[in-house]
C-alpha cells in the first residue's frame, strides 16, 4: 500500500464544496458536493490539467451507489443512516472575515431559524463536539451541521454573512 491519499477542499459559496485529489499515477479528479445533495465528479486531461476529461453529475442516491461499489464495507451498523431519514450532514466553513467571528453560536439563531444542529466545530487541529450556544465562533472554523437539505442550505447562508 502507498501513502495516505491527500485531498484538499475548497468552499464554493452558494454551490457547495469541491474536493480535489491527485492519484499516485498523477491523475487529478475533483468531486463537487452540491448543496442540493448531488455530486459532480470531474477528471482532468493529463496533457492539459485544466481541461476536463469527464464531468459526471449524480444525484445523492447515485453517488451513494458509487460509494457502495467502491467501498462496500464503508457502512457501520452503528452509524446513523441520515439519507433514509431525510437528513444530511455537511461541513460549512466560516470565512476568515466572517461577521460571526468572535460572536456566540447562539447569536446566529441557526437552530431556531433553520432546525439545523451544529454537532461539532473543527478549529485548526482540534474538534469541539456538541458546542453550546455560548461557544464563540472564529473565522476559519468548520462547522459540522446536520439537518434537512433546505435547513443546511439556509444555515450555510447565515454563516456566509459578511
| Pairing outcome for strands 126-129 and 117-123 | antiparallel
Quote the DSSP letter at residue 130. Answer: S
Pairwise CA distance, residues 24 & 3, whole Å: 9
Nearest residue to 19 via CA among 91, 76, 88, 123: 91
pLDDT at 84: 59
- Tell me whether residue 77 is in a domain: no
pLDDT interval class at 136 (50, 70, 90): very high
Q: Which residues pair with 143 in a beta bridge?
A: 92, 121
- 149 with 88, same domain: the answer is yes
Contacts for 107-114: CB closer than 8 Å, 24+ residues apart: 108/137, 108/158, 108/159, 109/158, 110/145, 110/155, 110/158, 110/159, 113/154, 113/158, 114/147, 114/151, 114/152, 114/154, 114/155, 114/158
Domain final residue, candidates 29, 49, 70: 70
* pTM, entire model: 0.53
pLDDT at 114: 92
Instruction: State whether residue 66 is helix, strand or coil.
Output: helix
Cβ proximity of 7 and 128 under 8 Å: no
- Tell me whether residue 76 is in a domain: no
- 114 with 51, same domain: the answer is no
Quote the DSSP letter at residue 138. Answer: -
Q: What domain range is 124 assigned to?
A: 83-159
Pairwise CA distance, residues 13 & 130, whole Å: 25
Q: What is the pLDDT of residues 108-135, one digit of tens each?
A: 999 999 999 999 999 988 899 999 999 9
Mean pLDDT of the residues in the chain:
84
Is the pLDDT reported for residue 58 higher than 80? yes
pLDDT at 147: 87
- 121 with 98, same domain: the answer is yes
pLDDT at 16: 85
Q: What is the pLDDT of residues 92-107, one digit of tens each?
A: 889 888 899 999 999 9
Amino acid at each position: 500500500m502507498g501513502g495516505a491519499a491527500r485531498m484538499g477542499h475548497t468552499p464554493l459559496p452558494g454551490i457547495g464544496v469541491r474536493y480535489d485529489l491527485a492519484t499516485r499515477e498523477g491523475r487529478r479528479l475533483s468531486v463537487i458536493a452540491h448543496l442540493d445533495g448531488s455530486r459532480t465528479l470531474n477528471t482532468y486531461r493529463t496533457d492539459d490539467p485544466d481541461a476536463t476529461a469527464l464531468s459526471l453529475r449524480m444525484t445523492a442516491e447515485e453517488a451513494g451507489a458509487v460509494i457502495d461499489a467502491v467501498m462496500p464495507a464503508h457502512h457501520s451498523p452503528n452509524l446513523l443512516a441520515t439519507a433514509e431519514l431525510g437528513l444530511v450532514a455537511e461541513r460549512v466553513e466560516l470565512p476568515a472575515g466572517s461577521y460571526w467571528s468572535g460572536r456566540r453560536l447562539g447569536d446566529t439563531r441557526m437552530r431556531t431559524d433553520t432546525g439545523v444542529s451544529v454537532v461539532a466545530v473543527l478549529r485548526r487541529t482540534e474538534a469541539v463536539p456538541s458546542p453550546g450556544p455560548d461557544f464563540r465562533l472564529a473565522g476559519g472554523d468548520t462547522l459540522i451541521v446536520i439537518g434537512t437539505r433546505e435547513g443546511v442550505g439556509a444555515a450555510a447562508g447565515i454563516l456566509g454573512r459578511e
